[in-house]
Amino acid sequence: MSLKAGECWRYQPPAGHTVLWAAVGSGVVLVPDKLSQGELAAFEPSNETLEFEALSDAEFVLGSAVPHNHDLVLGTTQYTRISMRCARPRSEYQ
């Protein structure tokens, strides 16, 4: 989404979309807290309308989703030798 300084934009999540996040690529927006370029915000679970106000010309992305039924797993991911090989250019295979 692109907003000029002073512009406002509202987002009403679809029914069931209580997982919401936003990332600012440039500028500064209020949502209601200030988010600046390079920042990512995950909002408290809600289905309420979010209002974005641009304090400067700004570009941001917004995501919303239905929560899933699986636990979030944090930590390192284990890679097999085969999966690592597939991630490298063919010229590097041995």
Spatial separation of the C-alpha atoms in residues 65 and 21, rounded to whole Å:
9
Q: pLDDT per residue over 18-27, tens digit each?
A: 999 999 999 9
Query: What pLDDT is recorded for position 93?
Result: 45
Full-prediction pTM beyond 0.75?
Answer: no
* Structural domains of the chain, with CATH: 2-92 (2.60.120.10)
Answer with the residue of higher pLDDT: 22 or 92.
22
pLDDT of 71 > 80? The answer is no
DSSP structure class, residue 43: P
Find, among 85, 27, 16, the residue nearest to 52 by Cα.
Answer: 27
8 CB neighbour count, 10 Å cutoff: 11
